């Protein structure tokens, strides 16, 4: 009988972009893609890892972007926060269908569809083995969901923030344009800044660096990648202090 492998990380914060849910669609949620992502998360949950998720809203907000053109920035940001809650609810539904227990907490009050964000309650859910999906970003305009992910991960005492993207790490150049681009296995926050590598937005990056909160960038579309990251295998790029 094979033994369950021991995870390197016991509590993680996964940052999912809204665009990751689109698949090949121009906007919206691709059901097949969201089920695939949930399958990757389930593999990690079955290892006993505690999981928090912050999700963006670009896939939904993109569909109404022309209407938002010229809109007040704060108003547009609040609309984007609502989009993240829609994604969080879709993700929770897919997780429930996959046999996972998940809770949605929103930084904006909307008690009919999501619980308000309460740090102590979120910590309790994680300790009970439930997945917590954090919606509405930080609840404030002018801050991205990258910053929300850094903030929630630090608040939850997560071991690492895992930024799930379409690219399997941080490269010396755009791998789609330059086939000779090399993936970094690891680098420091200062090295990433010095080399002008676009890992995440500056506010989130500074928060991770100042709080010594490690970041791992990997592809959520590479089968088994999330599990390999959690097990400490050579997958993606580690950004550290």
Q: Which residues pair with 116 in a beta bridge?
A: 106
Q: Is 184 marked within a binding site?
A: no
Q: Is 125 marked within a binding site?
A: no
Q: Is 27 marked within a binding site?
A: no
Q: Is 188 marked within a binding site?
A: no
Q: If DSSP codes are grouped into helix, strand and coil, which group holds residue 16?
A: strand
Q: Are 206 and 232 in contact (CB under 8 A)?
A: no
Q: Which residues pair with 104 in a beta bridge?
A: 133
Q: Is 145 marked within a binding site?
A: yes
- Residue 151 and residue 204: Cα distance in Å, rounded? 8
Backbone φ, ψ for residue 198 (5° rounding): -85, 80
Q: Is 77 marked within a binding site?
A: yes
Q: Is 153 marked within a binding site?
A: no
Q: Is 31 marked within a binding site?
A: no
- Residue 89 and residue 37: Cα distance in Å, rounded? 14
Q: Are 237 and 33 in contact (CB under 8 A)?
A: no
Residues in contact with 225: Cβ distance below 8 Å, sequence separation at least 6, in sequence order: 40, 168, 218, 219, 235, 236
Q: Is 80 marked within a binding site?
A: no
Q: Is 142 marked within a binding site?
A: yes
CA distances 101 to 51, 223, 224, Å, are 11, 22, 21
Q: Is 172 marked within a binding site?
A: no
Q: Is 18 marked within a binding site?
A: yes
Q: Is 174 marked within a binding site?
A: yes
Nearest residue to 29 via CA among 69, 50, 56: 56
Q: Is 59 marked within a binding site?
A: no
Q: Is 137 marked within a binding site?
A: no
Q: Are 215 and 199 in contact (CB under 8 A)?
A: yes
- Residue 185 and residue 194: Cα distance in Å, rounded? 17
Residues in contact with 5: Cβ distance below 8 Å, sequence separation at least 6, in sequence order: 47, 231
Q: Is 9 marked within a binding site?
A: no
Q: Is 237 marked within a binding site?
A: no
Q: Is 17 marked within a binding site?
A: yes
Q: Is 15 marked within a binding site?
A: yes
Annotated binding site: 15-18, 57-58, 62, 77, 138-145, 165, 171, 174
Annotated binding site for ATP: 15-18, 58, 62, 165, 171, 174
Annotated binding site for UMP: 57, 77, 138-145
């Amino acid at each position: 009988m094979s033994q369950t492998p021991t995870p390197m990380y016991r509590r993680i914060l996964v940052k999912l972009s809204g665009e990751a849910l689109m698949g090949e669609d121009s906007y919206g949620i691709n059901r097949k893609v969201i089920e695939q992502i949930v399958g990757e998360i389930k593999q990690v949950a079955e290892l006993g890892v505690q999981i928090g998720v912050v999700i963006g809203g670009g896939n939904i907000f993109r569909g109404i972007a022309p209407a938002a053109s010229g809109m007040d920035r704060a108003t547009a940001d609040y609309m984007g926060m609502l989009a993240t809650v829609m994604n969080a609810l879709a993700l929770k539904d897919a997780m429930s269908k996959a046999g996972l227990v998940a809770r949605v907490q929103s930084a904006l009050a909307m008690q009919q569809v999501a619980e308000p964000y309460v740090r102590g309650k979120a910590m309790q859910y994680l300790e009970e083995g439930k997945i917590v999906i954090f919606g509405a970003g930080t609840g404030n305009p002018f801050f991205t969901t990258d910053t929300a992910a850094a903030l929630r991960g630090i608040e939850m005492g997560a071991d690492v923030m895992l930024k799930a993207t379409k690219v399997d790490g941080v490269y010396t150049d755009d791998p789609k344009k330059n086939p000779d681009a090399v993936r970094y296995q690891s680098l420091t926050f200062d090295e990433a800044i010095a080399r002008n590598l676009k890992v995440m937005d500056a506010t989130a990056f500074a928060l991770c660096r100042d709080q010594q909160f490690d970041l791992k960038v990997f592809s959520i579309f590479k089968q088994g990648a999330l599990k390999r990251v959690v097990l400490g295998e050579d997958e993606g790029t580690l950004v550290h202090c």
